[in-house]
Amino acid sequence: MVRPVEQSPQGARLGAVAGSQSGVSVAQHSSRITIPELVSRKGGEPIAILTAYTAPVARLVDPHVDMILVGDTLGMVIYGMASTLPVTLDMMIAHGRAVVGASRHAAVVVDLPFGSYQASPAQAFASAVRVMAETGCDAVKLEGGTEMAETVAFLVARGIPVMGHVGLVPQSVHALGGYKARGRDPKEAKRIVANAVAIAAAGAFAIVIEATIDPVSREITAAVPVPTIGIGASAACDGQVLVIDDVLGLAGDFKPKLARRYVDLGSQIAEAARAYAADVKSHRFPGPENVYGVPKTGA
Ligand code: KIV
């Protein structure tokens, strides 16, 4: 079957401008939303972000959102893993490359997976360099607070834009004891605010706040000079992010409080599969239009 050919990351991001006056071809950046543009949206028009992990979905969401996040949630929603912990750098790079290649409008941010950055700033730098160079993405995201500030500063000083992630940090699910909302305990609330402030001071260009009670998310949004991106956080955040499978109704009966289901694709896919199988079994598929070498009726 003929399918549209993916552009390489470089192809999607750089358009060759031939025949300049000097006769030298130069490369020109695409019209993708830039990281400084996103930073300038602090307190302004809310930033809309969706996750995407594959080329076809990236192509569909790209014109509508400001950023596509290639989140390590792909371990759970694409691969059916029990948590994000088994996700590898190679998996993130493969999916990041597909998403960058299929998009041209939204900024693309790729998660650094568990174990690829926590050991040291040097380890984080090596992982981030692979992600940036091999996918063509605009920035990386990592989880953590004050303990990651030195690493964030190290990457930012070397030209790698970093998005932080505080509150419920899924890569620490075992330490946290589950996926419950954070910040109800005043001591923990204080710690989450301090984490966000430290990551912003270290140079993060934006901070995801996940599953953190509204007053704490508001306090962070007021305290940091960069956009906050909420997921189960607060309407006061400077932007919102959702996992695409939750938006599309592909997560079965799992309906997290923090998400809104805009379409029930799960039911539609199941119905399509049922109708197809029934057609095959009753010889209604393939029809004459689906096979080769059969004269059209009436011809
Ligand atoms: O991995 C992911 O998709 C994320 C979002 C839930 C923010 O980090």
Give 166-183 pLDDT, tens digit per residue. Answer: 999 999 999 999 999 999
For residue 72, give the ligand 1 atom closest to its CA: 1
pLDDT in tens, 258-296: 999 999 999 999 999 999 999 999 999 999 999 999 887
Please tell me the distance from the alpha carbon of residue 13 to that of residue 60, in angstroms, as a whole number.
17
Say what percent of the chain tops pLDDT 70: 89
231 lines ligand 1 (CB under 6 A): yes
Residue nearest to atom 1 of ligand 1 (CA): 71
pLDDT over 80 (residue 5)? no
At residue 295, the pLDDT reads 80
Instruction: Please give the Cα distance from 17 to 101 (Å, whole number).
Output: 19
Give 192-216 pLDDT, tens digit per residue: 999 999 999 999 999 999 999 999 9
Q: Which atom of ligand 1 is nearest to the CA of 229?
A: 7
Residue with the nearest Cα to atom 2 of ligand 1? 71
134, 143, 210, 219: the catalytic one is 210
Find tokens 């552009």 and name the residue. Answer: 7
SS (H, E, C) the chain: CCCCCCCCHHHHHEEEECCCCCCCCEEEECCCCCHHHHHCCCCCCCEEEEECCCHHHHHHHCCCCCEEEECCCHHHHCCCCCCCCCCCHHHHHHHHHHHHHCCCCCEEEEECCCCCCCCCHHHHHHHHHHHHHHHCCCEEECCECHHHHHHHHHHHHCCCCEEEEEECCHHHHHHHCCCCCECCCHHHHHHHHHHHHHHHHCCCCEEEEECECHHHHHHHHHHCCCCEEEECCCCCCCEEEECHHHHHCCCCCCCCCCCCCCCCHHHHHHHHHHHHHHHHHCCCCCCHHHCCCCCCCCC
Cα 141 to averaged position of ligand 1 atoms, centre (Å): 9
* Lookup: tokens for 98: 């597909």
Report pLDDT for 188.
98
- Mean pLDDT estimate for the chain: 91
Does residue 12 surpass a pLDDT of 60? no
pTM of the full predicted structure?
0.91
Domains and CATH numbers, the chain: 32-263 (3.20.20.60)
pLDDT in tens, 41-83: 999 999 999 999 999 999 999 999 999 999 999 999 999 999 9
pLDDT of residue 22: 44
Stretch 238-253: mean pLDDT? 96
* pLDDT range class, residue 299, cuts 50, 70, 90: low
Does the structure show a pLDDT above 90 at 6? no
From the list 51, 94, 49, 101, the residue with the least C-alpha distance to 76 is: 51
Give CA–CA dist 168/232, Å, rounded.
Answer: 10
Going by alpha carbons, the residue nearest to atom 5 of ligand 1 is 71
Known catalytic membership, residue 210: yes
Residue 298 confidence (pLDDT) = 60
Ligand 1 geometric centre to CA of 35 (Å): 18
Nearest CA among 157, 164, 61 for reference residue 111: 164
pLDDT score, position 29:
52
